[in-house]
């Protein structure tokens, strides 16, 4: 007989910290998160002492990164850059979401819309949006328009296709039930398909937000007078690695904040989709 | 003058696919339901009983034949034929009361008139205290009661039930069957119900259409000898047990019969 007992009882005791797919107790979760942050800060601290400033491969200390941040704050560039970049992302990604979600809902709802639009969308999404930069600069000049257009081009096709998939995941039974209750197609789109798809659409917005920031950087690297990515390019000229680090931190924090916001929004506006 | 039945299905044929690949799911079914009747369709899986109900509901099209409500042909789904599905199909973002009110909203019933109708239905379904809960918070039996209330709200001519209690555990199922009887007795609804549970069909209905499988045809029509005001006691009636054996025998496929003969 195979021994299943190693003294003190039968079976394998479930681990608290390393249970497979187990909910972690609150205190453990906070401790693990805090530990993770601490680990990365410690690595950074270590790296900044090993690769001290002076060589070309140097890692700035927290202090010099912080100083660079304060310096940009004091001379006002931080605010103008942040405002310029945010404005481009909000307008560009906002438009991409508005049109992308509308087209995606149409494609997900109607087979005819899918048949009509799928070839174009399938083709266009494989054109790397960054490769459109020179074209957009010739067509639209170097002001805000090509930057916003690039963000749209880099995100809208994914928003369309992912939204269409979210809509196709609405159970047919819910649609049929609405028909038998006397609902018309428009009512079903507004009152059944949209509410059911809403949490999924927020997820689509979350996932593609990263691509919006990516396209912003591409746009600002090539032609801009302000913006966070433009400031990074400027920093390269002066070998101001501490400034670059400060700006990269800003990017990361912006992304984290928008992600947390969208997650909060999902939880708040569609609590029914959280369980199960 | 002969009275027009509430539901009339005549020479109904449903084929899926075209050409040599076509599969005949339903091969010439005739049935009728009179106003106020509760009729069951019983059959093994693959007899096309759900397809039949979906065609009456207007959710699927027929290949040939007639399906009429009050003598008018069915051309699509509508609130005159309320449907209840095995999977509940409640809207998980709407509260119980909002789910029940949805059909009234679609019919543009003013909000002031909606509330008393919803309250009445919730009362019949014993759901009043759960009016503001979401479906995700309810048990299976309660969800199905919400679904029945929602289907009844627009006052349909016919209630179509597609294995409504198939996903419920045995105790809940019994309670729901009694519940449906009460609702039927209280509301004078006309009900056409699909099930694979033979005892359920005898306990609830006045007439049973037993379908044969692949393709679906009416194997036999059984008039249930119990009146409208029936209760659980009929389950011990010898006629109930005889009927059950008779229908179960009808549902055996030829392959099953071979097995029975060998033993």
In 3D space, the residue among A173, A199, A222, A172 whose CA is nearest the CA of residue A270 turns out to be A199
- What tens digit of pLDDT does each residue of A109-154 get? 999 999 999 999 989 989 998 899 889 989 998 889 999 999 999 9
- Contact residues, chain A, for B78 at CB < 8 Å: 179-180, 182
Q: Could you report the predicted ipTM of this complex, rounded to two decimals?
A: 0.89
Q: What is the CATH number of domain A62-275?
A: 1.10.3720.10
* C-alpha distance from B233 to closest chain A C-alpha (Å): 35
Q: How far is CA B128 from CA A2, A116, B139, in A?
A: 56, 48, 15
Banded model confidence at residue A232, pLDDT cuts 50, 70, 90: very high
Task: Say how far apart CA A21 and CA A17 lie, in whole Å.
Answer: 11
Within the 167-226 window of chain A, which residues sit less than 8 Å (CB to CB) from chain B? 171, 173-174, 176-184, 187, 191-192, 195-196
Nearest residue, CB atoms, A181 vs list B59, B79, B85: B79
SS3 A100: helix
Question: Domain limits of chain A?
Answer: 62-275
In 3D space, the residue among A10, A26, A270 whose CA is nearest the CA of residue B134 turns out to be A270
- Contact residues, chain A, for B79 at CB < 8 Å: 180-182
* C-alpha distance from A115 to closest chain B C-alpha (Å): 21
Nearest residue, CB atoms, B85 vs list A177, A184, A195: A177
Nearest residue, CB atoms, B83 vs list A174, A177, A196: A177
User: In this predicted structure, what is the pLDDT of residue B134?
Assistant: 94
**Is B213 a residue whose pLDDT tops 60?**
yes
**Is A272 a residue whose pLDDT tops 80?**
yes
Q: Taking the model in full, what pTM does it have?
A: 0.87
SS3 B13: strand
Indicate the length of chain A as a whole number: 276
Task: Say how far apart CA B152 and CA B149 lie, in whole Å.
Answer: 5
Token duo for residue B239: 């006629």
Nearest residue, CB atoms, A179 vs list B59, B91, B160: B59
Sequence-ordered alpha helix ranges (H) in chain A? 26-50, 62-74, 77-109, 111-124, 133-140, 144-168, 172-180, 185-188, 194-222, 228-237, 241-269
**With an 8 Å Cβ cutoff, are A187 and B154 in contact?**
no
């Amino acid at each position: 007989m195979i021994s299943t007992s190693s003294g003190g009882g039968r079976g394998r005791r479930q681990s608290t910290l390393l249970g497979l797919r187990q909910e972690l107790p609150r205190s453990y979760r906070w401790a693990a998160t805090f530990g993770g942050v601490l680990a990365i800060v410690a690595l950074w601290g270590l790296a900044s002492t090993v690769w001290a400033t002076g060589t070309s491969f140097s890692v700035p200390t927290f202090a010099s990164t912080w100083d660079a941040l304060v310096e940009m704050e004091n001379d006002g560039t931080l605010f103008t850059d942040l405002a310029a970049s945010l404005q481009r992302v909000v307008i560009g990604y906002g438009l991409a979401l508005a049109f992308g979600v509308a087209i995606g809902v149409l494609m997900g709802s109607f087979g005819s819309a899918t048949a009509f639009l799928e070839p174009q969308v399938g083709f266009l999404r494989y054109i790397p949006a960054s490769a459109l930069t020179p074209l957009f600069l010739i067509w639209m000049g170097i002001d805000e328009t090509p930057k916003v257009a690039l963000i749209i081009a880099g995100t809208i096709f994914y928003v369309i296709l992912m939204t269409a998939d979210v809509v196709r995941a609405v159970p047919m039974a819910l649609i049929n039930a609405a028909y038998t209750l006397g609902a018309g197609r428009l009512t079903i789109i507004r009152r059944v398909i949209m509410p059911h798809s809403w949490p999924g659409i927020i997820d689509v917005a979350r996932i593609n937000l990263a691509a919006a920031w990516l396209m912003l950087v591409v746009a600002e690297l090539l032609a801009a007078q302000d913006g966070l990515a433009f400031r990074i390019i400027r920093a390269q000229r002066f070998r101001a690695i501490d400034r670059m680090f400060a700006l990269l931190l800003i990017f990361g924090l912006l992304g984290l904040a928008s992600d947390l916001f969208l997650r909060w929004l999902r939880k708040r506006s569609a609590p029914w989709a959280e369980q199960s | 003058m002969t009275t027009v039945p509430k539901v009339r299905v005549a020479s109904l044929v449903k084929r899926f696919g075209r050409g040599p690949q076509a599969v005949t799911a339903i091969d010439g079914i005739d049935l009728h339901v009179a106003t106020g009747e509760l009729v069951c369709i019983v059959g093994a899986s693959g007899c096309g009983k759900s397809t039949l109900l979906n065609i009456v509901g207007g959710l699927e099209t027929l290949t040939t034949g007639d399906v009429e409500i009050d003598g008018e042909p069915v051309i699509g789904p509508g609130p005159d034929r309320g449907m209840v599905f095995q999977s509940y199909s409640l809207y998980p973002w709407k509260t119980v009361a909002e789910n029940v009110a949805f059909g009234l909203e679609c019919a543009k019933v003013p909000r002031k008139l909606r509330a008393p109708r919803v309250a009445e239905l919730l009362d019949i379904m014993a759901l009043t205290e759960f009016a503001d809960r979401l479906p995700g918070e309810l048990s299976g039996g309660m969800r199905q009661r919400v679904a029945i209330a929602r289907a009844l709200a627009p006052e349909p001519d016919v209630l179509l039930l597609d294995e409504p209690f198939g996903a419920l555990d045995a105790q809940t199922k019994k309670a729901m069957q009694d519940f449906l009887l009460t609702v039927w007795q209280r509301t004078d609804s006309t009900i056409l119900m699909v099930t694979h549970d033979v005892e359920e069909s005898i306990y609830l209905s006045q007439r049973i259409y037993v379908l044969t499988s692949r393709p679906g045809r009416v194997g036999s029509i059984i008039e249930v000898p119990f009146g409208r005001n029936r209760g659980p006691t009929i389950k011990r009636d010898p006629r109930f047990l005889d009927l059950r054996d008779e229908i179960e025998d009808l549902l055996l496929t030829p392959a099953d019969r071979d097995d029975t003969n060998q033993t």
